[in-house]
Amino acid sequence: MNTEFAHTVFIRGLEINACHGVHDFEKTQPQLFVIDARLNIGYSPEVVKDRLEGTVSYSDACKVIEKTVLNNTFNLIEKLAAECAYSLLNEFPLISGVEITVKKPEAPVKYKLDTVGVNFSAQRVKAYLSLGSSQGDRKKYLYSALRALNDVRGVKVLKISSFIENAPYGGVAENMFLNCAAEIETYLSPFVLLDEIHVIEERLGRVRGKRWDDRTLDIDIIFYGGHVIEDERLTVPHADYINRDFVLIPLKEIAPDFLCPLLNKRVKDL
Half-sphere exposure of 4 (CA within 13 A, CB side): 7
Whether 215 is catalytic is: yes
Residue from 124, 138, 214, 215 carrying the catalytic annotation: 215
218 is catalytic: yes
Report the alpha-carbon distance of residue 168 to residue 212 in Å, rounded.
8
Per DSSP bridges, beta strands 218-224 and 125-133 are antiparallel
- The residue annotated as part of the active site, out of 124, 138, 214, 218, is 218
In this structure, the chain runs to a length of 270
Rounded CA gap, 77 and 118, in Å?
A: 7
Which residue type, as a one-letter code, is found at position 80?
A: L
Catalytic residue among 138, 206, 214, 244: 206
**Annotation marks residue 220 as catalytic:** yes
Count of alpha carbons within 13 angstroms of residue 146, beta-carbon side: 24
- Among the options 220, 231, 257, 269, which is catalytic? 220
Quick one: CA torsion of 91, 65, 188, 115, rounded to 10 degrees? 160
**DSSP code, position 215:** -
Find the helix or strand (DSSP H, E) in which 164 lies: strand 164-166
Active site residues: 206, 215, 218, 220
